Amino acid sequence: MSGKNCVAIASDKRFGVKYLTISMEFPKMFQATDKTFIGISGLATDVQTLMERFRFKINMYRMNEERDFEPITLANMVSSTLYERRFSPYFVEPIVAGLDKNNNPYINGMDLIGCSTTACDFAATGTPEDQLYGTCEALWEPNLEPEELFETISQTIMSATNRDCVSGWGAVVHVITPERVITRTLKTRMD
Amino acid sequence: MECIFGFTGKDFVMTATDSTVAQSILIVKSTEDKSRALSKRILLLFAGESGDTVQFAEFIQRNVRLYEIRNGVELSTKSAATFTRRELADNLRSRKQYSVNLILAGYDLTTELPSLYQLDYLGSSVSAPFAAHGYAAHFLFSIFDRYHRPDLSLEEAKALMKMCVGELQRRFLVNLSHFTVKVVDKDGIREIAI
């Protein structure tokens, strides 16, 4: 979700098989660069495999180029990594969110074969995708300040995951500002 | 129908596997050990398609040992779990995948902490204070949610293990007469009676 010179990304923390919850501490997002995060929803094994592959590629890029990925470049890297497996895809839907070198927000959502869509407002994936878009549409407005953006994205993810019986069980929110990244965990319903 | 589970205590991990080998409706053995020691303080429990299980567990066991010989250091539990997960995940997209569910229990001397990883046949890995696979999970997670604490002493852990086994033998349709219970701590891996 984008704001005024800031961007926020949030995920729930559940890991489960069908209706059995196995873990409530399953990270689905990771920090790619100082001002960029990748969040991945979908099949847990592919989420973990891709996190490892992206981390490898990001580190290699940093060492080869002696600079960090710009969010748009990162999104293209993610997209082409997914399209490499066009005919036996990873079952994931990633979101790239970050601030570019001019501190303008950048948000990109992708499907499982890397067809990417850049959004100026918000992007959502996962099982409660429909609910997320609904609540985003209702709560989001342009040019939110970091604290307002945190409140908006938190209410959005809580409202959406509470209506979805296979997601929730806690949530994590990262708000990326030019100065720093604010990370907060949300207490949500645990049922 | 197989049950493998485990939980962490204050400075140890306690694990249990049922000792039954069944083919179709027939019990062919009731003293099977469904675990392999990856190193002195890492134990791998396995359940799943017979054949695949032992084959995969020993493949991991030998590779972890090879790493030790080559590099002169032991793998941490986390590293062993990451390696095992990646092998499963890569194998998933092959022509014939392994159908093995695993639990990795270990004690790290560097951090002096016990750790437990639950890995399924797809290659998803989670670090958790307690883990269970198969039908056992449906019975045991609620017991763990209620009675498990991270600072369990060995005696309390034995009592919790008795509750778990008791619940399975009372409420689970399948007759699981024997369980192999092991403890992993700073002294290594040992089998205990509960």
Tens-digit pLDDT profile for residues B43-102: 999 999 999 999 999 999 999 999 999 999 999 999 999 999 999 999 999 999 999 999
Domain positions in chain A are: 7-186
Largest CA distance in chain A: 47
d(CA B190, CA B194): 13
A-chain CB neighbours of B126 within 8 Å are 15, 22-23, 25-26
Tens-digit pLDDT profile for residues B8-26: 999 999 999 999 999 999 9
Cβ–Cβ pairs < 8 A, chains A and B: 43
Pick the CATH number of A7-186 from 1.20.1250.20, 3.60.20.10, 3.10.20.90, 3.40.50.720: 3.60.20.10
Find, among A79, A78, A57, the residue nearest to A68 by Cα. A57
Given this model, what pLDDT does residue B155 score? Answer: 97
Q: What is the mean pLDDT of residues B153-164?
A: 98
Q: What is the mean pLDDT of residues A116-124?
A: 97
Flag whether pLDDT at A186 surpasses 90.
yes
Tens-digit pLDDT profile for residues B57-69: 999 999 999 999 9
Can you tell me which residue has the tokens 């949500």? A188
Flag whether pLDDT at A156 surpasses 90.
yes
Flag whether pLDDT at B120 surpasses 90.
yes
ipTM of the complex as predicted: 0.93
d(CA A95, CA A106): 10
Given this model, what pLDDT does residue B26 score? Answer: 94
Determine the distance in angstroms separating the CA of A61 from the nearest CA of chain B, rounded to an integer. Answer: 22
pLDDT-based confidence at residue A70 (cuts at 50, 70, 90): very high
Tens-digit pLDDT profile for residues A12-25: 999 999 999 999 99
Mean of the per-residue pLDDT values of chain B = 96
Given this model, what pLDDT does residue B1 score? Answer: 84
Flag whether pLDDT at B194 surpasses 90.
no
Cβ-Cβ contacts under 8 Å for B71 (sequence gap 6 or more) = none
- Asked if A22 lies within 8 A of B126 by C-beta distance, the reply is yes
Find, among A7, A186, A184, A11, the residue nearest to A94 by Cα. A11
B-chain CB neighbours of A21 within 8 Å are 141
Mean of the per-residue pLDDT values of chain A = 97
> Per DSSP, what are the bridge partners of residue B8?
B13
Given this model, what pLDDT does residue B101 score? Answer: 97
B-chain CB neighbours of A170 within 8 Å are none
Q: Please tell me if residue B182 touches chain A, with a CB cutoff of 8 Å.
A: no
Q: Please tell me which of the candidates A20, A21, A44 has its beta carbon nearest to residue B124.
A: A44
Instruction: Specify whether the CB–CB gap between B8 and B128 falls below 8 A.
Output: no
Instruction: Specify whether the CB–CB gap between A50 and A92 falls below 8 A.
Output: yes
Cβ-Cβ contacts under 8 Å for B159 (sequence gap 6 or more) = none
Burial label, B78 (beta-carbon count in 10 A; 0-12, 13-18, 19+): middle
The CA-CA-CA angle for residues B16, B21, B23, to 5°, reads 145
Q: What separation in angstroms does the CA of A116 have from each of A70, A96, A124, A179?
A: 16, 10, 12, 28
d(CA B25, CA B30): 14
Given this model, what pLDDT does residue A27 score? Answer: 86
B-chain CB neighbours of A90 within 8 Å are none
Given this model, what pLDDT does residue A57 score? Answer: 98
